[in-house]
Amino acid sequence: MTELTTSRPKTRSGFSIAIALFLLGLIGSGILWWQGFQGYAIITFISMLLIALIVAGYTSPHFRWTGFGTDTSQLDDQGRPIQRAKTLWDWLRLLLLPVVLIVGILWLNGQQQQLLLQQEANARQLAEEQHQQVLLSSYMDKISDLILHDDLLHTKPLSAIHLVAQVQTTTTLRALQPDKKGALIHFLYTSQLINNDTHVISLLEADLRGADLHNLDLRDTNLSGAYMSGANLAGANLSYTTLKFTDLSNSNMSGANLQAADMHNTKLNGADLSKAVLLDAQGLQKSQLASVKSLKGAIMVDSTKHP
């Protein structure tokens, strides 16, 4: 009777510890989950649950199915349960648990790191896009202010206002990405600042490399001497445009309209002119055409169609 009364408090005490461990794991994993560490939260919960089950298996007869504790099917001479010997499978399971946990932690940690890296990359991309938009908007605001308040459209060459607009254009183009370069050129065109007639702002040596200008209407524009290698001009209207000494190497001008464009000394190495219209193009030499990537389906200077 004395042994029975002393074993029950021990059983209850051990079971209480198991419950406490389980609750501790539940609370800890909940905090980790709330803080955004879902992987660590799952590992913490599973670990504390297994530890609680081990403690319960040793202390409560209701958890003998865990494989821990005493074997009630075998009794000693005094009728007390005998601690059963651990089998090889029991030890393998015991050793397998930490291995599985370690592998799981490493895998979840790798997933967490990849997620963080992706989030950082997305944040940097978003910040760069916002920065690009700020640059473009700031430029447009400054030029618009010069047009409205300082009569930029009629300013004399080399005047202070003209120089400010020129420097702002050159500097901003150098800092912009291809899609924003296209937006800036479209703004200049619609503002009549780069037209052949007015030509307020020069694009000589302007950085338009890789600029996305596809399908833009840039007819009668002065693009002389601009660096436009790799630019996307597919489907653009470049009729009557001045392209003297313009670098259009490796550009995509498929389907572009270059009718009556001034192409004296235009660099066309590797340019795609398939299905382009070259009717009445000025100054276009055979040596220039020989250097292009493709003329398939193009309308040539003499109105013939290239095979």
Query: pLDDT by residue (tens digit) across 248-260?
Result: 999 999 999 999 9
Residue 34 lies in a domain: yes
Which candidate, 225, 231, 227, 185, places its Cα nearest to that of 210? Answer: 231
| 93 is a domain residue | no
Same structural domain, 58 and 135? no
Share of the chain above pLDDT 70, in %: 73
Whether 77 is in a domain gets the answer no
Q: What is the number of structural domains in the chain?
A: 3
Q: Is 143 helix (H, G, I), strand (E, B) or coil?
A: helix
Q: What is the pLDDT of residue 7?
A: 46
CATH number, position 251? 2.160.20.80
243, 180: one domain: no
**Tokens of residue 140, six digits:** 């447009």
- End of a domain among 194, 213, 237? 194
Quote the percentage of the chain above a pLDDT of 90: 52
Residue 45 is predicted with a pLDDT of 73
Within a domain: 284? yes
pTM for this structure?
Answer: 0.63
Residue 277 lies in a domain: yes
Q: 21 exposed, middle or buried (CB, 10 Å; 0-12, 13-18, 19+)?
A: buried
Q: Are residues 220 and 153 in the same domain?
A: no
Question: For residue 1, is pLDDT > 50?
Answer: no
Range of the domain at 160: 115-194
Q: How many Å apart are CA 307 and CA 298, to the nearest integer?
A: 8
Select the more confidently predicted residue: 162 or 3: 162
Tens of pLDDT, residues 139-172: 999 999 999 999 999 888 889 999 999 999 999 9
User: In angstroms, rounded to a whole number, what is the distance separating the alpha carbons of residues 69 and 65?
Assistant: 10
